Amino acid sequence: MHFARRALLTTAAATLVAASGAAPAIAVSTSPDKAPLFNGSVYAIAHRGGTVYVGGSFTGVAWGGRNYARARLAAFDASSGALLNWSPSANGTVRALAVYGSSVYAGGSFTSVAGRSRDNLARIDAVSGAVGSFAHRVSGAPYALAVGNGRLYAGGSFTSVDGHPRRNAAAFSLSSGSLDGNWRPGADDAVHALAVTGSRVYLGGSFHQVGGVSGTLRIAAVTPTGGAVDRGFRPSANAQVNSITLDSAGVYAATGGQGGRVLAYTTGGALRWQRVFDGDATAVASLGGTIYVGGHFDRACTTPKNGAQGACTDGSVSRVKLAAITGRGTLTGWAPQANGVIGVRTLAVDRNRGAIGAGGDFTMIGGQNRKRYASFG
């Protein structure tokens, strides 16, 4: 984007924020960058340098006036939007992606990738698209993947890996590819979100307990090597946690329930603030001190109160499927307006460009044709 246009957009956003009484905050553009168009849902986004990897249920991608076959996995250039040749077809929905070095890890509900048998989890070469030797039998579907501490962490709805009990969470060595025999936190229901630091792995989902420990309802932190519950983080979440992100100020969770919420916690688990929407919050991401949220909502409530079907009871402002919040919990004027019922399923930060990528079921953003994927730089 040219500097003059960026300055104009920034000024317009600041004016809107001032008019709504919200505090100014640094935010990305409301105008989406160029990107390919997908013919089915985008569930997952990952970045590696200047490349964007996406996974979902799509089977075709349009770029430059042409249609290309891409079965549930695709890659494109982050700056230009140009589709790349990377095309390791999966025969079922890809729900999670993670990047480490020259590898792209994919998780979901598939039995083969690039013609090789893979049971819901695969490692793919980031350049060639070739499927590596990493292969495990997963008795269910991974919903979330994250890397750190020499491990690939997986969360989802499964009971075992390679015949070893693993209740909805497992870890694998990034060097050898083997199942980690020690990391076994054991959640009693599905894990939908993961976030990793050097001292903790955060889990979010629909579970009631992790490791049989009380006070771990829907969100918990465990140690990165053994998976024991970290009792120094004991928050509460009112509904299923769909996504977790971290920054220097603390932990952020996007939830569903009666309307959706973004809950901001300290690293000790104390609630700092919350923002409420009239529909599920399915994704949350942090960039430059601003918290971005995506979901099924159409409005942001002006207070934490809502009623039947999540409707705001004390006033609201339009925020259709996307919104941004300051680090102190104040709603900003950033409002790109995506369409659809489901709207946004996932958000990912492109730190290389200082941008936010959004995937889901929308087909328009701000009146522009953006089928199932959009980025804001």
Residue 26 has what pLDDT? 54
Residue 200 binned pLDDT confidence (cut-offs 50, 70, 90): very high
Residue 10 has what pLDDT? 35
- Please give the Cα distance from 179 to 302 (Å, whole number): 46
**49 within domain boundaries:** no
Q: Report residue 217 as tokens.
A: 């309802």
CATH number at residue 122: 2.130.10.10
**4 within domain boundaries:** no
Residue 155 has what pLDDT? 98
Residue 24 has what pLDDT? 44
Q: DSSP strand E in 111-214: where? A: 112-113, 116-117, 121-125, 138-148, 151-161, 164-165, 169-173, 191-196, 201-205
User: Which amino acid appears at position 180 of this protein?
Assistant: D
The mean pLDDT value for 359-372 works out to: 96
**Burial 158-191, CB ≥16 within 10 A → b, else e:** beebeeeebbbbbbbebeeeebbeebbbbbebbb
Instruction: State the residue range of the domain holding 248.
Output: 88-349
Q: Which helix (H) or strand (E) holds 365?
A: strand 364-365
**pLDDT for 15 beyond 70:** no
Greater pLDDT, 241 or 2: 241
Tell me the C-alpha to C-alpha distance, in Å, between residue 118 and each of 132, 137, 151, 172, 291: 10, 8, 19, 15, 36
The mean pLDDT value for 301-315 works out to: 90
Residue 2 has what pLDDT? 34
327: region left, alpha or beta (phi > 0 left; psi from -120 to 50 alpha): alpha
**pLDDT for 8 beyond 70:** no
Residue 14 has what pLDDT? 34
323-343 residue pLDDT tens? 999 999 999 999 999 999 999
**176 within domain boundaries:** yes
Residue 6 has what pLDDT? 34
Strands 112-113 and 103-108: unpaired
- Based on the structure, what is the number of domains in the chain? 1
Tell me the C-alpha to C-alpha distance, in Å, between residue 105 and each of 13, 70, 146, 267: 37, 17, 9, 28
**55 within domain boundaries:** no
**179 within domain boundaries:** yes
**294 within domain boundaries:** yes
**60 within domain boundaries:** no
Q: Could you give the percent of the chain with pLDDT greater than 70?
A: 93
Classify 343 as helix, strand or coil: coil
29-84 residue pLDDT tens? 999 999 999 999 999 999 999 999 999 999 999 999 999 999 999 999 999 999 99
**pLDDT for 131 beyond 60:** yes
* Cβ neighbourhood burial of 99 (10 Å; 0-12, 13-18, 19+): middle
**9 within domain boundaries:** no
Name, in order, each residue with C-beta under 8 angstroms of 257's C-beta and a sequence gap of 6 or more.
238, 239, 240, 280, 310
The mean pLDDT value for 288-316 works out to: 93
